[in-house]
């Protein structure tokens, strides 16, 4: 899964809860740059930076915290 967020300049952040079978992905989009168009600057899964800026969805019953900064 990759994220291509679209967020207005005046929004600070928004969150999404995504369920993939038995796993839950809590996704927080943070708008730090306040510019449009939005591009992903940082992509973290459970506080670990992911250089590829994407994650493979897995069905393992776990909860994942994803932070995307633009």
Q: Map out the domains of the chain with their CATH numbers.
A: 13-69 (2.60.420.10)
Specify the pLDDT at position 17: 98
Largest CA distance in the chain: 37
Tell me if 43 sits within 8 A of 50, measured CB to CB: yes
Tens-level pLDDT at each residue, the chain (70 residues): 999 888 888 899 999 999 999 999 999 999 988 776 678 999 999 999 999 999 999 999 999 999 999 8
Please give the Cα distance from 14 to 5 (Å, whole number). 10
């Amino acid at each position: 899964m990759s994220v291509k967020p679209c967020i207005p300049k005046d929004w600070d952040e928004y969150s999404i809860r995504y369920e993939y079978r038995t796993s839950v992905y809590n996704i927080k989009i943070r708008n730090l740059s306040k510019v449009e168009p939005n591009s992903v600057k940082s992509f973290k899964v459970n506080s670990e930076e992911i250089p590829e800026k994407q994650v493979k969805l897995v069905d393992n019953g776990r909860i994942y915290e994803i932070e995307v900064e633009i």
